[in-house]
Amino acid sequence: MRELQRKQQSLGAAAERSALEFDVEIRAIEKIMEQGARWLQDMRNQLKARTAAGGDAAAQDQIRQDNERCELLVERLKLLRAANSAAQDASERCRGVAKRRAALMETLQRLLDSDLKGARQKLAAVAEQGPRPKGWTRHAAPARS
């Protein structure tokens, strides 16, 4: 059990570093999304101004194409937000699992320690009460011939 705890601790440290890096990436994506949202809002305002200004058929066609591109980018931004939200949720779940795993390991160790202590005490009591073979000591098995 102790070996398993050591392995879990070393893996836990690596997992924690990975989780921190993951969270940094999530925050970086959030900043990019904020910038993208501002840029798209500016683009929409410019398109409204261009639409209001009017123009020839070629200008109106260009405005229509730019509007389509803008809407496409808005939809992609929505998808990116959804993916980033899912990544945040996954990160929180992973942290929760790591905490529960550590608590489980501690609980198992306490149970094993208490069970082993009780078993040792019971065995010691039985050993003290029973007849001892010739050559037996408390700390050594009987000598074999």
Those residues with Cβ within 8 angstroms of residue 136's Cβ, 6 or more apart along the chain or in another chain: 142
Between 72 and 127, residue with greater pLDDT:
72
Kindly report, residue by residue over 65-121, the tens digit of the pLDDT: 999 999 999 999 999 999 999 999 999 998 898 888 888 888 888 887 787 777 777
Question: How many CB atoms sit inside 10 A of residue 132's CB?
Answer: 11
Read off the pLDDT band of 15 (50, 70, 90). Answer: confident
Kindly report, residue by residue over 22-77, the tens digit of the pLDDT: 999 999 999 999 999 999 999 999 999 999 998 899 999 999 999 999 999 999 99
Closest-CA residue to 5 (of 120, 113, 115)? 113
The residue extents of the domains of the chain are 2-101
pLDDT value at residue 1 = 63
pLDDT value at residue 80 = 96
36, 94 Cβ separation under 8 angstroms: no
Q: Is 0.85 surpassed by the pTM of this model? A: no
Q: Where are the alpha helices (DSSP H) in the chain?
A: 2-53, 57-129
How far is Cα 47 from Cα 50, in angstroms, rounded to an integer?
A: 5
5, 112 Cβ separation under 8 angstroms: no
Read off the pLDDT band of 123 (50, 70, 90). Answer: confident
Position 12 pLDDT exceeds 80: no
Between 76 and 145, residue with greater pLDDT:
76
Written as six digits, the tokens of 115 are 């069970």
pLDDT value at residue 142 = 53
Those residues with Cβ within 8 angstroms of residue 143's Cβ, 6 or more apart along the chain or in another chain: 135
pLDDT value at residue 144 = 53
